Amino acid sequence: MARINLLPWREQLREERKKRFLTALAGVVVAGVGIILLTDQYYDSQIDRQTARNEFVQKEITVLDGRIKQISELKVRRQQLLERMKIIEDLQGNRPVIGRIFDQLARTLPDGVYFSDVKMVDKNIAIAGTAESNNRVSDLMRNLEASPWLEAPTLAEVKAKPNGEVAQNNNFQLSVRQTRPPLEGDAK
């Protein structure tokens, strides 16, 4: 039997095109959603990766800050050790000088003069003592001035202190500066 189409053929064609369009539209929407999901997943993985890098860098910065602190502590400790070494070297270098100073003080001491207190601060020596007379104190001052290890004696005070009727003692205080005599090779 012959098939008779009562519907116009154009409408059928339009319906087929509409179905293809809707199918293509659904495919594009599904593909778009898929692409959006893949893009989102890609950016999330990139963000996680960068966050991991940042955390690694922060940990390394913390480690380096600790090392820098240790280095600065070591520098301070090194400086303290160098200062101690310098003090020890100065003390070792001055050891014979102190002996010479005491020797010179003993050699310059005239008869009838007695030291009761000797103090040394830096290169200044403060001397307190007793003398039988003012002439003995003058002799001590001349002897100190003549010493190559001592210079510029300065008399601070002399007090007469009667000690009974027989003898009179004079208490004195003076200061003198320590110096080093020039070495034989220095006098050119």
- Parse the chain into domains and list their residue ranges: 53-181
Per-residue pLDDT at 164 exceeds 90:
no
With a cut of 60, say whether residue 184 has pLDDT above it. Answer: no
- Contact status, residue 175 vs residue 153, Cβ threshold 8 Å: yes
Average pLDDT over residues 31-37: 96
Q: Which CATH number is associated with domain 53-181?
A: 3.30.70.60
Q: Phi and psi for 143 in degrees, rounded to 5?
A: -65, -40
- pLDDT at position 165: 43
Higher-pLDDT residue of 67, 10: 67
Mean pLDDT for the stretch of residues 26-43: 96
Is the model more confident about 75 or about 169?
A: 75
Higher pLDDT, residue 97 or 54: 54
CB neighbour list of residue 152: distance below 8 Å, 6 or more residues apart = 145, 176, 177
